Each structure stands twice: as C-alpha cells, then as structure tokens.
Structure 1
C-alpha cells in the first residue's frame, strides 16, 4: 500500500490520533489503519494492549472475519514509521507526565478507564444502531429481534454504548442476501465509519428515529443463534431494499 500523495494539512492543523489495539495480529486494526493512512492529514500512534485469550464458545455462524488473519500492528507501524507503544492498560496512555493523543479510536473490545477519558476524546464504532441495539453480538441480536441493522459512531464513557452519539448509518439489506453476505456488508460499514470518523464529527446527527432505548445484550447463546438463523429469511423479506438507505441528517 502506498502512502497517499498530494497536499497535506499544515503541521499545526494535523490531528494527533491514537489507535487502541491489541499486541497481536488484528484485521480490523490493519484495515482501519490502511484507510486512515490513505486519507492522510493525521499523526497516528498505535497503543497495543495485552490480549487475554477467552474460552472457546460454540458459534453456529461466524459473522465477522478471522481477526487474527492479519498483520501485527507493530509491523504496520514499522512500515509507515508510526510510533508504537505496548501498554498494560488504556489508562497507562494518560499516566504520569505522558502527553496522550488529542483523539483516540478503539479497534478492539478494550476497557477504557477514567484517566484516559478525562484527557482524550475516545471514539468507537458500535455494530448496532444506538440506542436500540447495544452490547455484544449486535448483528445477530438485531436480526433475532427484528430490528434495523446499522453501525453507530459514538464517544466512549463509563456505560456500555451510551457515550455521546455522533452518527448512525443503516446497513442496506437486499432480497438475495444470505447471512454471510449481509454480515460482510455490515462489517465493512463498521470499518468505513471508523475510517471516516472525521467526516462524521464535522456533520453529526441524532440517532435514527423510531428506535427505542433497549438494554445492552450479552453474547448470543447457541440455541438463540439457531433461532436467529431460522428467522433470517423473514428478516430479509421485511427489511430488504432495492437501493442503499441514506442516513437521515
């Protein structure tokens, strides 16, 4: 991948952006980084947390690509001469006399402590339409609960997916979608919104209308996932459109 050419913002106007990731190969981080580098105009630093393996759980449908099938963030940092820091916690980024970035994007499911939030704007893209689809496995729960699909850029605070809302974008559903094609499109929308976060910050919008505030969900159990897959054809029939939906600004 080539670093973009063309005119760049002056050094005074360049955003100091941090990317919070894991210290292991991570696909979402790789994709977001490459997209941000293509856009240019930012001084990017990577902050890598230790990854704690989770117990294996039975999944009937894997709705996200293999996140380990990627380059290590340290290798990307070396390739593009980006600062790379391994930190024990997110709060360590703002510890002591450190000078944390102005803004941070989170590409992993990390806990963000109050020290960092006091000193830095931290943003995440949630794979659901806030406030109706919050928590884990948002793609699957939206289908199970017959809710619209979409992604939401929001600031991070102490509550799950309740930080200041920036922008939500619906994910188009097409008549010939399978679970795999819809999951791929939904994941790509998540990546695109992270890469375009500056555009969203310049033109924020309220959450999409008609969505009730619902509790955050946990991981979907296998038996519920089976029911979700059974409901998928009816979901597509109800939600399919002939063209991409446009966000309401």
Structure 2
C-alpha cells in the first residue's frame, strides 16, 4: 500500500516540490541554498560563528557571539537548525503564513536534531505562545507544531499551553533592539494550571525564528519566576546580520523577534 502511494504521490522537495528520494528531503539545489547551523556556533543563541565547521566539540561549547557578550540572556543555552535566509527563510514563511502544516513534521525533526545537546532529564518542552486573537486568525501555532516533534523525538513531556500571552503586542517588524525588548516586556506568563508541574524542572522553549531574542527573553523570565529550574531555547531558524559577518543578529521584518 505504501509503495502504491509513493507511485501516485512521489516524495517532493520541501523547498521547491521537485522529485526527491525520500519524504522530508531537499533537492540538491535547495540543499545548497539552505544553511544548516553546525559546527562553530554561539552556545547561548545558536548563531553561526566564523571558525569553520569542524569545531563542534568541547572547544566550541563556551563560544559566545558579540551580542551575547553584550546582552544578558536569561536562558542557559540555545541552538538553531538553519539560518534565516534562502530556502530556510522560505520554509519558515511557508509554515508560518502559507498554511503548510505538512512542514511541521520534517522541520520539527530538524529542530529536534538541533536541540539534542540541550536535552535534560525531566525536561518540559513548550512553544512560544501566540496571543489568542492572533491564534484565532492563524488557526494554529507554528511553534507548537515544531515543539510537538521535539518532545516526541526526545521522549519528553510536551506542554503546548504552558505559557500564555498576557497582552497583545505590536509587530516587531523594523523595530530597534531596545524597542523589541520593551514591546515584549511582561507580555507572557505561566498558565496557572501548569504552575505546579513546572517547579524545579528544566524547560526547553521552542520557536520558529529568533532575531533579537526579545521573545525568548520574555518567556524565559516568566518561566524562571514561576519556578523553572533552568531554561534552554531552540529555534528552527536564526537570523543573522546582513553585514559584519555572522556574529550577531540582524533587525529584519516578518514579525519575528
């Protein structure tokens, strides 16, 4: 039956729809245009760093980007699957705004792989929440689609409603770093029904994109205030500067933060 379905519906590239050998794969062209984050990357926010792709062991474990040396990150460690550019950017936008819910499983697998060094016993996996009005318009939370795959692949508890937006925030597009952090300040809280299970446990926060880190910071502050032992973060895509190398974030549009 499965073989028959493959004849009728052959596997297609996630990026362009071209024929590929297996489900959830990229064609050679899209593969070349999708920059996976591996090797030398910031241990705090996951942004790629100069220095080659082989320096991924203990020597790279403590490396921080320029931004993380300046900006205090309340979370413990962070990782990213791909760079927010080229095919990586197109896939994020297709999942987020193109109703491509079918991308949740394969892209969530990428996120789960990136998150592997962050996994701890008894860890709770939770997505960055949407405000109820935005969720009503979009019908789904793309971060929750990703976090569901992370929890499944690592055998961890998934808490899709652990956090809630306490107020609607303005779009982050074209805002400065300071404005982004001010916009998200105290915009999230732990859902009261989940507060008891959170006490003393590590949490892995999942989102689709990170630019300034303002959203992750707001969520982390809420979790730590409610009793989480520690917070780590992982995203599908990490935004990088357009100029000045890959050692910090860039301010970009697309309602990301």
Structure-1-length-normalised TM-score:
0.30
Q: Which has the higher helix share?
A: 2
Structure-2-length-normalised TM-score:
0.30
